[in-house]
Chains A and B, each alone.
Chain A
């Protein structure tokens, strides 16, 4: 009987992943921003997203664009994110992302920021994804493909959200 052989670390794959992760940090941060109000939660969520990206990285076959792939993985992790899960793996991944610096650049205090936050807080998980992808400039068809819904469903949901935003602003709702 032969002794089990430990898997050989594929340094090329690791190096490719690290370069990939480095390029995708902005996407991860924006998803975390939409799904977590608290900076600490955002940090946890980014770690969880990085863990899942790494676990799935060997399945990435390049059939979809790497950015589309990242958006999907990140949003799926964000929606199912539970603070208690993944904690034991925290710091296991190389996401040396300075949240304070990113928050300083992104989480600004303006009327629009407050309106956006107030709107996001009222939305369910899938609607947040719709808003995020719309803000990112994706078309209804692309959003539909990422979420697994028809363009019609996306358009309907977006119209409702836009109406809600207008009502919210008219009523002077503040976070």
Chain B
């Protein structure tokens, strides 16, 4: 078996495909109506509903911080949530825009290096969003929620509450390495579903490792010829 044999076979199949496509094209032209092409091109990272929620959270945290300015036990968690939400949203928008700006018609190796870099950045952001988010969106968020919506200071609910808050924050930080370890252990189980695999890959940094491996393969391409 040589490459010439494969080429001959490939061309024979290509001719058969060409005949099928010729018939298909007629069918295609008849069904191309109202396909919302422009909508596809304008698709953004967030839809109007998600964007409205995102802005509402930013505004809410901002108002909370300004209303409680000087009361640092509320300003600190409110500000942390405001910064986290703002930074994560901005990073997400920026990455999406950079991805959309990639010219896919440029040479393959150049584009793949660029995409690999973007993918690695995205994986890193997702990983840290999850690891830090599990701390901020628990105790600090509950403190802000109760004070902001009901005017209840969780610090004063009981004597135990301050210790409870401190313990939870410490546990949240300690959970970071534990979560990474559990995710590696539970990987095969979660990876049975595409959604589970997707979250897991980003969470554990496997996306990052894949991106690095692809970048390494691309770099060796030219080196081989030397």
Contacts and interface: CB of A to CB of B under 8 A. Distances in A.
B16 A76 contact: no
Nearest to B199: A84
User: For chain B, what secondary structure do more than half of its interface residues adopt (helix, strand, loop), or is it mixed?
Assistant: helix
Interface string A74-88: 011101100110000
Interface string B13-29: 11011111100110111
A137 B10 CA distance: 10
A148 B76 CA distance: 51
A18 interface: yes
A129 B108 contact: yes
Q: Helix, strand, loop or mixed for chain A's interface? A: helix
A7 B108 contact: no
Contacts of B100: 55
B108 A147 contact: yes
Contact of A153 (B10, B105, B115, B224): B224
Interface size band for B? 35 or more
Contacts of B21: 25-26, 29, 102
B110 A148 contact: yes
A153 B104 contact: no
Interface in B107-140: 107-112, 115, 119
Contact of A56 (B37, B103, B112): B103
B17 A126 contact: no
10 contacts: A7-B38, A18-B32, A25-B25, A26-B14, A56-B103, A64-B105, A72-B106, A76-B106, A92-B35, A156-B224
Interface of A: 7, 9, 14, 17-18, 22-23, 25-26, 29-30, 51-52, 54-56, 59-60, 64, 69, 72-73, 75-77, 79-80, 83-84, 89, 92-94, 96-98, 101-102, 104-106, 108, 110-113, 115-116, 119, 124-126, 129, 134-137, 145-150, 152-153, 155-157, 160-162, 165-166, 169
